[in-house]
Structure 1
Amino acid sequence: MRALVLTGPGKAEVQDVPTPVAAAGQVIVDVERVGVCGTDVELFTGEMSYLHTGASSYPLRPGHEWAGVVSSTGEGVDAAWIGRRVTGDTMIGCGRCRRCLSGRHHVCPDRHELGIRDGLPGALAEQLAVPVTSLHALPDTMDATLGALVEPGGNALRSVNAAAPAPGERLLILGTGAIGMLAALFARAAGARVHLMGHDPAQLHLAATFGFDGVWTRDTLPALPWDAVIDASNSPALPALALDLVEPAGRVVYIGLAGTPSTVDTRDIVLKDVTTVGILGASAGLPGAIAAYADGSVDPRPLVAATIALEEVAAVLGGHLPDRVGPGPKFLVAPRRERPGVTP
C-alpha cells in the first residue's frame, strides 16, 4: 500500500510499504480522511521534541487525526466491527501500569502515540493497524470529514472543560489555529462569552464570520476581565501573557506548544491564586467531541481549508499550499486514490 514516510528533517515521500495485517487484538482500517496537524509539521521539520529525546526517530510514518472503515479484525476481536466507521485514540497505553488502570493511559510511561512516537505507524496511509481498545465508533450520521476532526476536537473540548467557563463568563483564547477555533466553538456551545486573539489575517477573518463575542490582535485586545484564558498558540511569549491577562482566582489552560521553552513566573500564579492546567491528548474528550458533532451543537467543517491527496502532503508540510484552498486552518487528506478537491 502507499504511505507517507518522513525520512529526515524536511524530507517526506510517498512510499510503497507492506500492507498491514491485524495482530491479535487489532483491527485494520481503510483510512478515509486524515488531518494534518501542527505536530506533523514539527515532525517534518525536525523541531518536535520527541525527535531530540529519542521517543521518535526517522523514518517515521505520521498521521494521528483520522477516520475510516474497519475492513478486517485480528484474533480475539469481535467481527461486528467490520464495516463500522471509526476513529481512534492517539494515546495507546500499556494497559497494565498504575496510570492505565486509573484511567490515565494518555500519560502511560510506555505508551504509544500513533504516528508520533516510535512503535505504531500513523494514518497517512491507505490502511492502518490499531488496537481495538483504542477505537471509537462513529454514528451513522457522521461522515469521514467529521470523524477526522474528532481527535483535535477532543483536545479542544478537554481545554474548555479545564477552563471551566460558567455560562456568561468571559473566555479568552490565544491562537486562531484549529485547536483555538475548535475550543471557541465548544466554549460557545457551553454558554461562555468567547473572545479570540490571533495575528494571521485570514484566520482572524474566518473567526469573525462565526460571530464570537470578540476577535482581536494583541494591539487591539481590550482591557476586559478574562475569567479564563486558553493558550492554544505556538508562541513562547504567550504563556506568560495568558497568566498576566487572566483575572485573579481565574483559570489558565495551556495546550499550545512552542518550539522553544516558555517562561512563566510561578510567583504570579501564587499571588493571583490562579489555577493552571496542561492538556496532553484528546483521550477523555473523544466521546464528548463525537456527541457534539453528531447532535450539531458544534460544526467544525468550516475549519477545513481543503482535502488533498497523499502526494500533496509533503508540500503542505513544507508550507507550500495548493492553489485553491478555503480560509480554514485545517487540511484533510484522502489517502485512498480518490480525487479529493477543495472542501467548500
Structure 2
Amino acid sequence: MRAFVITGPGAASVRDVDPPVAGPGEVVVDVERAGVCGTDLEFFSGEMAYLHTGDAEYPVRIGHEWCGVVTSAGSAEGESWIGKRVTGDTMLGCGRCARCTSGRQHTCADRYEIGIRHGWPGALAEQLRVPVGALHEIPAGFDLTMGAMVEPGANAMRAHQQAAGSRILVMGPGTIGLLVASFAAAAGAEVHLLGLKLDFARSLGFADVWTADDLPDLPFDTVVDCSTAASLPAKAVELVEPGGRVVFLGIAEEPSLIDTRQLALKDVTAVGVLSGSGALRKTIDVYASGAVDPRPLVAATVGLDEAVNVLAGHRDPAWGEAPKVHIDPRR
C-alpha cells in the first residue's frame, strides 16, 4: 500500500510499504481522510520533542486525525466493526497499569500514540491498524471532513470541559483554539479570542477578537492557552480572574515559565490537557447535534502526494485562511 514516510528533517516521500495485518483485538481501517496538525509539522521539521527524548525516531509515519471504514479484524471481538465508518483515539495504553485501569490510558508510561510515539504507523496511508478499544463509530450523517475533525475536536472538548465561569479568553486562534471557542460559545459562554491573525476568526462570527495591544481589561473566569508561544502561559495566569482557571493545551518549542506565586496568591486552578482521550464520543455527539460545525476550519483536501508540500508550508492562496488541511490517501 502507499504510505507517507518522513525519514529525517525536511525529508519525506510516499512509499510502497507492507499493508497492516490486524492482530488479536485489532482491526484494519481503510483510511478515507486524515488531518495534518502541528505535531506532524514538528516531525517534518525535526523539532518534535519526542525525537529528542527517544520516544520517537525516524523513519516515522505520521497521521493521528483520521476516519475510515473497518475492512478486516484480527479476532472475533473486531468482527462486529467490519463495514463501519470509524475514527479513534490516538493514545493506546498498555491496558494493565494503574493509569490504564483507572481510565487514564493516555498517560500510560508505555503507551503508543498512533502516528507519533514508539513507532505505531499513522493514518497518512491507505490503511491503518487500530485496537478495537480505541474505535468510535461515526454517525451516518457525518461527512469525511467531520469524521477527521473528531480527534482535534476532542482535544478542544477536554479543554472546554475544564473551563469554568461565563467569560472565557482563548489564546491562539488556530484549529484547536477555534474549536475551544466554538464549544464554549455553543454552551452559552462569552468568548474572547487573542491572537495575531484574526480575520478568519471574525469570519466565523466571533466578534470579540483581540491582539495583545487592544485586549480589554476584563475579568476572565477562564483563560485557555492554545498557542505555541513560550511567553503566553505566564500571560494566561496574569489575565485570569482570581479564583479562576487556566487551561494549558498548546506546547511551545522551549520551556514556558510561570510564576507560581501568582498561581497561589490568586488562588488559580491550573489544568493541563494532553489529548482528546475520553472526549471523542462527546465531540461526535456535539458535531452530530449541529451545535458546532468543524468543517469551515478545513481549507482544502489534497492527495497523499501533496502531503510533503503541506508540511513544508506551501499553501495555495485560493484555499483562504482556514487553518486545517486534510489528506485523502486514496488520491
TM-score under structure 1 length normalisation: 0.95
Structure 2 contact 27–78 (Cα < 8 Å) conserved: no
Match of 2:192 in 1: 195
Residue 65 of structure 1 pairs with residue 65 of structure 2: yes
Structure 1 contact 306–326 (Cα < 8 Å) conserved: no
Q: Secondary structure at the match of 1:281?
A: coil
Q: What is the distance in 2 between the residues matched to 1:315 and 1:302?
A: 21
Match of 1:124 in 2: 124
Aligned Cα root-mean-square deviation (Å): 0.9
Which of 236, 239, 262 aligns to 1:245? It is 239
* Deviation at residue 323 of structure 1 after TM alignment: 4.6
Q: What is the distance in 2 between the residues matched to 1:164 and 1:21?
A: 45
Q: What is the distance in 2 between the residues matched to 1:8 and 1:302?
A: 32
Residue 284 of structure 1 pairs with residue 278 of structure 2: yes
* Deviation at residue 249 of structure 1 after TM alignment: 0.5
Structure 1 contact 60–118 (Cα < 8 Å) conserved: no
Which is worse superposed, 183-192 or 71-80? 71-80
Q: What is the distance in 1 between the residues matched to 2:278 and 2:286?
A: 14
% identity of equivalent residues: 59
Q: What is the distance in 1 between the residues matched to 2:97 and 2:161?
A: 26
Number of equivalenced pairs: 331
Match of 1:342 in 2: none
Residue 310 of structure 1 pairs with residue 307 of structure 2: no
Per-residue CA deviation, residues 90-149 of structure 1 (Å, 9 max, x unaligned), is 000000100000000000011000000123100000100111111001111112110100
Residue 273 of structure 1 pairs with residue 267 of structure 2: yes
Is there any run of 5+ residues in structure 1 with no aligned partner, and where? Answer: 338-344
Q: What is the distance in 2 between the residues matched to 1:305 and 1:104?
A: 33
Which of 207, 216, 227 aligns to 2:201? It is 207
* Deviation at residue 322 of structure 1 after TM alignment: 2.8
Structure 2 contact 68–86 (Cα < 8 Å) conserved: yes
Structure 1 contact 206–328 (Cα < 8 Å) conserved: yes
* Deviation at residue 213 of structure 1 after TM alignment: 4.4
Q: Secondary structure at the match of 1:176?
A: coil
Q: What is the distance in 1 between the residues matched to 2:78 and 2:173?
A: 41
Per-residue CA deviation, residues 273-328 of structure 1 (Å, 9 max, x unaligned), is 00000000001111110000111011011000111111111111111113531321
Is there any run of 5+ residues in structure 2 with no aligned partner, and where? Answer: none
Match of 1:135 in 2: 135
* Deviation at residue 248 of structure 1 after TM alignment: 0.5
Structure 2 contact 167–189 (Cα < 8 Å) conserved: yes
Match of 1:340 in 2: none
Structure 1 contact 65–149 (Cα < 8 Å) conserved: yes
Aligned pairs for 1:1-344 within 5 A? 1-165=1-165, 169-200=166-197, 204-337=198-331
